[in-house]
Amino acid sequence: MADDNNNIPQSPARSSSASDSSTCSASDESAMRSASAQAARSNDAPASDAPFRLTDAPASASAAPASNPSVQPAEPSASSQTADPLPCPASPNLPAPRSAPAQPADPLAHPAPADPPAPACLSGDASCAPAERILEPEVRRHHHRKRKLLEFTHSSTRATMLMLTAAVAAFVIENTPVLPYFAEFWHTFEVGFTIGGFSPHLSLEHLINDFLMAIFFLMVGLEIKFEMTAGELVNPRKALLPILGAAGGAVLPALVYLAVNAGGGFEQGWGVPMANDIAFCLGILALLGSRVPPGLRSFLSTLTIADDIIAILVIAVFYTANLDVAWLAGGLGLFAGALALNRLHVHDLWPYVLVGLGMWACFLLSGVHATIAGVLLALAIPARSQVKLERAPGWFAARARTADERYDPGEPDIVQKEYLAEINEIGRVSRLSIPPITRLDYRLHVPVYFFILPLFAFSNASVVLVGMDPLAIVTSPVTIGVFFGLLLGKPLGIFLATWATVKSGLSDLPDGVRWGHVAGVSVLGGVGFTMAIFVTNLAFVDPATIAMAKAAILAASLVAGVAGFLVLRKVIA
């Protein structure tokens, strides 16, 4: 769900068109609303003619009320689409201060072409983000730096390159004498605490793979819930194509692996080539920019989400050892409690976080991989706003007018109690308007893509090849099964399943998507990396076998990524 500006794949924090969104600060929203209400008052415009569009709300909910068909939602300016990855409600031109002449028309409801241009930011760019236009001059520079940081951290290309750099660094370190105890460090260094006789400790490797990756799976769960609530999985006919494509891309690689390893004692690794890497796939697709058809981006996004669902089920069912039914029942009971919180309309995130921690501990002790707790928790978090969004524009306009009436330009800011109380109430309702899964996804985005996944790659992608026989590595059935499962089985499975679904009339190709596009996306499906390495650690215990499987994953992912990019670039050009 990456957009044309190479944004990270979106989840519930995004609209169904996959554009980035976030929570605007209360001061940003209220100040713009106050200024616009001032213009409306000076022109005797009614409140209903100047609605405020909540860009964090679903498109269908943010439309103007049906009782006033003349209202047109405010369209975001070009600068807010390109420069600000976390857009506030659009305001093409803010009105002048109270002492200035009144504007000829309400800039939100009826944009006037004769309005003067917006003031320039300190960066010298006249097309700055709307929030920067109303800031005091001395604080604009700080907010400009913050906006630039947000732009940097919402690039799927940068996140992909960071993970790739971490994997290459681990490979180089592991095979040079620079840090001879690199691999041992992750196994021996322990993290924990002691309270009386209670002393839980985890090695750094288990902390990353079991706890931090559970947070990654929480984001995967948010992606799944978004697709089920407002994405491609809502429409059964449209959802059928990527779902069956993902199923074909999971079954055929497993069959390829089993065909190579049947009777060899390594059959348990059949799940390794089944899963692809959503971040890498969408990151590579983002390199092609705006030339990618939106239907293709949506198809790949839904395909990877369906692929993740299959991988999660495989991990939960087939890679669970020594099942403890009592702890499993405890984890499922806590999951039921999280669902009950949802039904009771609890929208604060902290109760869900506390229940999620308990679920994680129960699943960890039950034998089921603890990361499953992250997915289940995501499915329990509410996806609806606490505010009736169809009524929000009028409410915000009325409160902004009230705040404007209580503002005294002759008094210091700190003593304007009534004005600040109105502003605080606008900010509170603005925060209530944003669904909990949207807020959680926004808060997890940077830690997951710029810390957890690179750390996982750095600690798990190391492959010790020094001292091993290269011929033995290349001819190992595990290496052959994983490599060809990802590089041949995965693309063929996706393409053939998609072709059969379309030819049978069960579904159609998305608008603007041709079979050449499907071929390129199918090749990208061979990029396993994160999920494949994750399953490798569950499937094997022998270090040499794990090293061979990881070497095959890295090699196949590299070839599939480059080949898929070249195929798509040729088709799109």
Tens digits of residue pLDDT in 364-401 = 888 888 888 999 999 999 999 999 989 989 999 999 99
Please give the average per-residue pLDDT across 26-39, as a whole number.
Answer: 44
Closest CA to 217 of 366, 356, 15, 365: 356
pLDDT band at 543 (very low <50, low <70, confident <90, very high): confident
Nearest by Cα to 90 from 32, 144, 35: 32
Q: pLDDT exceeding 70 applies to what percent of the chain?
A: 75
Say if residue 101's pLDDT is above 80.
no
Q: Report which of 384, 190, 224 is spatially closest to residue 306, judged by C-alpha positions.
A: 224
Q: Which helix (H) or strand (E) holds 201?
A: strand 201-203
| pLDDT for residue 28 is more than 70 | no
CA–CA dist 440, 226 (Å, integer): 13
334 pLDDT more than 80: yes
Q: Name the helix (H) or strand (E) containing 533.
A: helix 530-539
Q: How far apart are CA 301 and CA 286, in angstroms?
A: 12
Name the residue with higher pLDDT: 174 or 54. 174
pLDDT over 90 for what percent of the chain? 35
Q: pTM above 0.75?
A: no
CB-based burial label for 446 (10 Å; 0-12, 13-18, 19+): middle
On whether the CB atoms of residues 278 and 305 are closer than 8 A, the answer is yes
List the single range of 149-153, 363-367, 530-534 with lowest mean pLDDT.
Answer: 149-153
Q: Please, which residues have CB within 8 angstroms of residue 410's CB and are 6 or more apart in sequence?
A: none
CB 455 within 8 A of CB 205: no
Q: What is the pLDDT of residue 125?
A: 42
Residue-wise pLDDT tens digits, 246-272: 999 999 999 999 999 988 889 999 999
pLDDT at residue 211 is higher than 70: yes
Contact 429, 392 (CB under 8 A): yes
What is the radius of gyration, based on Cα positions, of the chain?
Answer: 26
Residue 72 has pLDDT above 60, yes or no: no
Mean pLDDT, residues 59-66: 37
Q: So what's the pLDDT on residue 77?
A: 41
For the ranges 76-85, 245-254, 286-295, 325-334, the lowest mean pLDDT is seen at: 76-85
Q: What's the pLDDT band for 482 if we cut at 50, 70, 90?
A: very high
Would you call 336 exposed, middle or buried from its count of C-beta atoms within 10 A (0-12, 13-18, 19+)? exposed
Summarize the confidence of residues 191-211 as an average pLDDT: 79
Of the given ranges (150-159, 399-408, 422-431), which has the lowest mean pLDDT?
150-159
Does 119 have pLDDT greater than 60?
no
245 band by pLDDT with thresholds 50, 70 and 90 = very high
- Asked whether the beta carbons of 143 and 132 are under 8 A apart, the reply is yes
In three-state secondary structure terms, 539 is helix
Q: Residue 154's pLDDT is what?
A: 75
List CB contacts of 181: < 8 A, sequence separation 6 or more.
none
The residue ranges of DSSP E strands in 70-149, in sequence order, are none
Backbone conformation region of residue 391, classed left if phi is above 0, alpha if psi is from -120 to 50, else beta: alpha
pLDDT at residue 115 in the model: 42
Q: Looking at residues 116-141, what average pLDDT do you find?
A: 57
Q: Please state whether 196 falls in left (phi above 0), alpha (psi between -120 and 50) or beta.
A: left
Mean of per-residue pLDDT scores for the chain:
77
d(CA 477, CA 473): 9
pLDDT bin (cut points 50, 70, 90) of residue 488 is very high
Quick one: pLDDT band at residue 172, thresholds 50, 70, 90? Answer: confident
CB 260 within 8 A of CB 481: yes
The Cα 479–Cα 532 span in angstroms is 13
Mean pLDDT of 484-490: 95
Q: What pLDDT is recorded for position 180?
A: 65
Q: Exposed e or buried b for every residue in 401-412, given b needs 16+ CB within 10 A?
A: bbbbebbeeeee
Q: What is the pLDDT of residue 12?
A: 42
